[in-house]
Amino acid sequence: MAVPEFSASLMRERSGSWQILSSTASVGQSAQGAFPRVTTSGGGLWKCEYGSINLRTPDHVRAWRALEVLCDGGSAPIIVPMCDKRHFPAPIVDGKPLYAIGAVPHSDGALFDDGAGYAQNIVDASVLLDAPLRAVSLALSFAAGGPLRGGEFFSIEHPTQGWHLYEVGTVDDQGGGNSVITFRPPLREAVTAGTYLEFDRPRCVMMLADPNVMKLTLSMRRFADPDVSFVEYFYPV
């Protein structure tokens, strides 16, 4: 069975955050009086929080309830999108950032029966050199997209662990569309040259942070503004 995705119809949150939860420990006081800390969590886990999700129609409520069933109290994984188009590496076209491409038709110019076309990514980036499990730097190549500055999110669909999320720390521009970046958390799985990097629609395999976090209380039996939180999920190997 395919892993379900958090429904696009429910991406109606008033607030949202993605944070790497890490554990650190002090190694004692230095001669200069500082208290340096080291991480003990292996890089930490992503936690996602979406607040005040605006449910206003029967379809919204049904979608929420169905999603709660699929999450099965946090025992089943779900793919959660990380919507950050305002800050992704958009190419500059006619002096303005290009955030989306219109519906792409069939070869004969026709669209689907519902008027929709094919979706097409704007950023085209891939891994330039192999990188091992737990690496925190990558050489990558951009065929299309704006320059990286640091602070952007991207995802990799790993062969075993599926979609996982990463955040760019530093960027060393090598010229010719090539860059070396540092990022966190460490790679969840080794990657090979040519692996696609998803900047347009980053996402991550997650599970409910709490079994009861999707509890839904309707106002006037019609409306709700629930919160939900997820933590990063790993498939058993």
**CATH number, domain containing residue 132:** 2.40.30.290
Please, which pLDDT band fits residue 23 given cuts at 50, 70 and 90?
low
Q: How far apart are CA 53 and CA 10, in angstroms?
A: 7
pLDDT of residue 189: 97
pLDDT of residue 79: 98
pLDDT in tens, 117-176: 456 789 999 999 999 999 999 999 999 988 899 999 999 999 999 999 999 999 999 999
pLDDT of residue 119: 64
| Sheet architecture: strand order including 162-175 | 153-158, 162-175, 178-184, 137-144, 124-127, 196-197
Contact criterion met (CB below 8 Å) for 165 and 173: no
Neighbour count for residue 77 (Cβ, 10 Å): 23
In a shared domain, residues 183 and 211 = no
In a shared domain, residues 195 and 135 = yes
For residue 192, the one-letter residue type is T
pLDDT in tens, 83-127: 998 898 988 888 887 877 765 444 555 544 555 445 678 999 999
Residue 149 within any structural domain of the chain: yes
Q: What percent of the chain has pLDDT over 70?
A: 84
In a shared domain, residues 2 and 77 = yes
Taking all residues of the chain, what is their mean pLDDT, rounded to a whole number? 88
How many structural domains are present in the chain?
2
Residue 90 within any structural domain of the chain: no
pLDDT of residue 22: 79
Q: How far apart are CA 8 and CA 13, in angstroms?
A: 11
pLDDT of residue 26: 55
Residue 207 has pLDDT above 70, yes or no: yes
Residue 188 tokens read as: 């969840």
Domain that holds residue 129: 122-201
pLDDT in tens, 43-77: 899 999 999 999 999 999 999 999 999 999 999 99
Strands (E), the chain: 15-21, 24-26, 37-39, 45-51, 78-81, 92-93, 96-97, 124-127, 137-144, 153-158, 162-175, 178-184, 196-197, 203-208, 228-232
Q: What is the CATH number of the domain that holds 233?
A: 3.30.200.190
Q: How far apart are CA 25 and CA 49, in angstroms?
A: 25
pLDDT of residue 117: 46
pLDDT of residue 235: 94
Q: How far apart are CA 155 and CA 164, in angstroms?
A: 5
Residue 225 within any structural domain of the chain: yes
Strand, coil or helix: 70:
helix
pLDDT of residue 100: 77
